[in-house]
A and B are shown apart, each in its own frame.
Chain A
Amino acid sequence: MSGTEPGPHPADPLRRLSDELTERLVRPRVYGRHQWRIWWGVAVVVALLPLVIAGGYQFNIAVNAELFAILSLGFYFQFALAGQFSFATPAYYAVGAYTFAWAAPSGGFLLAFGAAVVVTAALGALTKLLLARSPLIHFAIATLAFGSLVLIVLQNWTSFSGGGQGTFGIPQPSIFGYLFDTGTKQYYLCGTVTLLGVALLILFERSPAQRDLVFVRDMGAVAQTAGLRSAHVQVVAFGAGASFMGAAGALLASTAGFVDLSSFSTANGVSIALLVLLMVLLGGVGSVWGPVIGAALLTVLPQVLARWKSYEELIYSVIILVVILVLPGGITSLLTELRTRRTRRRPGRAPAP
C-alpha cells in the first residue's frame, strides 16, 4: 500500500500561515480546560479521608470505594469515550484478580500487578477485535455471553483458580520491601492507583487519542472515509479500559488475600456489571471525575442505608429513576449547569431571551 504514505505531492493545498497567527488560534479547546484541578481535588479527599474514618471496617469500605472507582474509570473509558457498552466488567475484574493471584507468589506485587494489567488489556482488545463488526446492542449482549464464558472457564479451571474454593494465601502488597500490611496502608495504595488512573484519563483527554476516539464514536463510517482507522482505535481503547478493571482485580486479590468467584458476581446484592454502569451514570459520563464520585457515593450509600434496610430497594429504584429522568448527565452535569447559570446571571450582560 504505497498510497498510504503522505510523501511529496506537487499539490499542497495548505498555505503557510504566519507563526503569530497560528500561535494565537491553533491550540484545541481541551488544553484550556483545567482537568488537573479535578485530580488535585480527588487527591486531597483521598489524603484527608483517614482523618474522619476509623476502624478496619470503615477502611474496608473505603478500599472498596477505590476499587469501584478504578472499575468505573475503566467502564468510563469503554462506555463514555469509546461508545462501547459492555457487560463484561466482572470478567476483566476476575481475570485481573486471578492473574495477580497466580503471579504474585513468585513474581512479587509489581510484576503480578503488571501481568494483571497486560493480560486484561489483551483480553479486552481481543473481545473488541472478535466483535468488531457487531453493532452496539449486539456487542453488549455478546459481551454478556463472553463475560459468563470467562467466569465459567475460571470456575472449572481449578488448577489455576482453585474452582469453587477460590485461591487463598495471596501475599499482601509489598513494593521494594515495604509491606502494606494495615488497612490504612492498603487504603493509600489503592488510592494512589485510583489517582494514577484519573491521571491517565486526564492525559488521554489532553491528547489526540481522545479526539480520534470521540470522532470515531460519533461519526461511524464517516470517520473511516476521513482516513481514521476506526477498528484499531476502538480495539485499543476497549483494551485500555479493560486493563483498568484488571488493575482493580489485582488490588482486590492482594488486599483481600484471597479470591473466589462470588466477589465478581454481586456486591450488596447488585450485579457488578450493573453497579458499575450505575456509578458512571450517577457520577456523569461527561467528565473523568464522574465515575469517581459515582463509585464513592454508591459504595457508601448501602452503609448509610443499612439502618433502613427494608427500604433499601425502594431507595435504589428512586435514585435510578431520578438520575435518568432529572439528571441524565449525572452529578457532574449538575455542577456544569450551575456554573453556566451563574455566568449567565453575571451583571453587565444582557439577560438571555
Chain B
Amino acid sequence: MSPLLDCHDLTVRFGGVTAVNAVSLAVDDGGDVVGLVGPNGSGKSTFLNAISGLVPAKGRLTVAGKDVPLGRPGAIARHRVYRTYQTPQVNPAMSCLENVLVASTDTSLRGVVGAWPLRPGMWRHEKRRWQEAAEALERVGLLDRANDGAAGLAYGERRHLELARALLARPRLLLMDEPAAGLNTAETSRLARLLRGVSAEGISAVVIEHKIGFIEELCRRIVVLEQGIQIAAGPPTEVWRDPAVMNAYLGEAL
C-alpha cells in the first residue's frame, strides 16, 4: 500500500539558494506522526510550505497515490491535508467560532445562493456547521471563548484556535509548524496529550518542533534536516545518537 503522503525529491530554490534540496518523506495513513527537526534555517518550514503549495517547488508529491500539483496553495487541502503555521494565522477581526467555521467541509449553500434565494436551506446547513465548529473548539478547550474576538486571544490560544480550524476540516493529515512554540510546560504537555488523541483516532501528522521531549512523546519517527538536506531519519533514540545530527546541533550551539 502506498503511503498517505509521499514527497519525492522535493526541491525549493530561492534565487541562488537551495532552501530544500531533494528531500523525500513518507507518512503512513492512520495516525502516523513524523517529526521534522533541524537547526534554525535548515529548511523545515520551507519544506512544509512546499507541501502546502505556498512556495514553488520541484519534485513529486502524492497523497494516497494521487498526484498533487506543486506551487498551488490549497491544492493539497482538496486531499484533506491541512496545516497550522509557525505564527498562528487567525483573523483577529473575526470571532473564534467564525475563524473555525471557514474550514467546514460542508460547503453547501455558503455563497450568494445560500445568502439570498435559498436561505432556509442555508440555515439548516449553518446550524450543523455551528455545531461541528463548537465541537472543534471544545476539543481544544476554547468553547467558552467561541464568540470572543480572536484578537483577544493569547498566543497559545491562537495556536489552539488554528488547530481547531484544521480539525474541523476532518483532516487525514495535519502539517504543524512548531505547534508548541511559545507554550509553557503545562500547555505543552496538554497539547501533546491532545495530539496523541488526534493521532489515536487515525489522523496522521508531520510536526516541526524544537522541543525534544514533545517530539519524543509524539513521534514514532523523525527526519533531520540541515541546510535543506536530510541528514538522518529513523526512531528518535537512534537519530539522536547519529554523529551527523550531533554535529549539526553542536554546530548551532557553538
Contact = CB atoms under 8 A, between A and B. Distances in A.
B116 interface: yes
A200 B133 CA distance: 26
A17 B130 CA distance: 11
Given A3-B80, A224-B73, A208 B135 contact: no
Given A211-B101, A226-B165, A236-B112, A21 B134 contact: yes
B126 A14 contact: no
B183 interface: no
B77 A226 contact: yes
Contact of B78 (A4, A9, A17, A210): A4
Interface stretch (A23-31, A57-65, A139-147, A178-186): A23-31
Interface in A28-63: 28-30
A13 B139 contact: yes
Contacts of B103: 226-228
A240 B112 contact: yes
Nearest to A204: B115
Interface in A212-242: 212, 214-215, 218-219, 221-230, 233, 236-237, 240
A194 to B, nearest CB: 17
Contacts of B78: 1, 3-4, 227
A57 B126 CA distance: 48
Interface centre among B31, B82, B102, B171 (most CB of A within 10 A): B102
A17 B172 contact: no
Contacts of B105: 6, 227
A209 interface: yes
Contact of B115 (A4, A14, A203): A203
Given A219-B89, A230-B74, A11 B203 contact: yes
Contacts, number: 170
B198 interface: yes
A16 interface: yes
A340 interface: no
Interface string A195-212: 000001001100111111
Contacts of A313: none
Given A208-B110, A230-B74, A22 B134 contact: yes
B170 A233 contact: no
Interface centre among A30, A225, A236 (most CB of B within 10 A): A225
The size class of the interface chain A forms with chain B is: 35 or more
Contacts of B248: none
A269 interface: no
A26 B133 contact: yes
A225 B116 contact: no
Interface in B86-106: 89, 91, 93-95, 97-99, 101-103, 105-106
B91 A26 contact: no
A29 to B, nearest CB: 5
A13 B203 contact: yes
Given A28-B147, A224-B77, A209 B115 contact: yes
A15 interface: yes
Contact of B126 (A208, A233, A236): A208
A237 to B, nearest CB: 8
A10 interface: yes
B136 A13 contact: yes
Contact of B89 (A203, A208, A222, A233): A222
B210 interface: no
Given A29-B95, A236-B112, A227 B146 contact: no
Contacts of A14: 132, 135-136, 139, 167-168, 170
A229 B102 CA distance: 11
Contacts of A236: 111-112
Contacts of A3: 63-64, 66, 78-80
B83 interface: yes
Interface string B158-174: 00000001111111100
Interface in B168-191: 168-172
B112 to A, nearest CB: 6
B56 interface: no
Contacts of A9: 170, 172, 202
Contact of A225 (B80, B82, B122): B82
B85 interface: yes
Given A3-B64, A26-B146, A212-B110, A225 B73 contact: yes
Give the top 6 A-B pairs by smallest Cβ distance, nearest first.
Answer: A224-B74, A11-B202, A207-B115, A26-B130, A6-B105, A14-B135
30 contacts: A3-B63, A9-B202, A11-B202, A13-B201, A13-B203, A14-B136, A14-B170, A15-B139, A17-B134, A22-B130, A25-B134, A26-B97, A29-B147, A203-B116, A203-B119, A207-B114, A209-B114, A211-B102, A212-B102, A214-B91, A215-B91, A215-B94, A215-B98, A218-B93, A221-B54, A225-B53, A227-B77, A227-B78, A228-B102, A230-B74
Given A28-B101, A227-B105, 16 more contacts: A3-B66, A6-B170, A13-B136, A13-B171, A14-B136, A14-B139, A15-B139, A22-B131, A25-B97, A207-B114, A224-B73, A225-B52, A225-B73, A225-B82, A226-B77, A226-B169
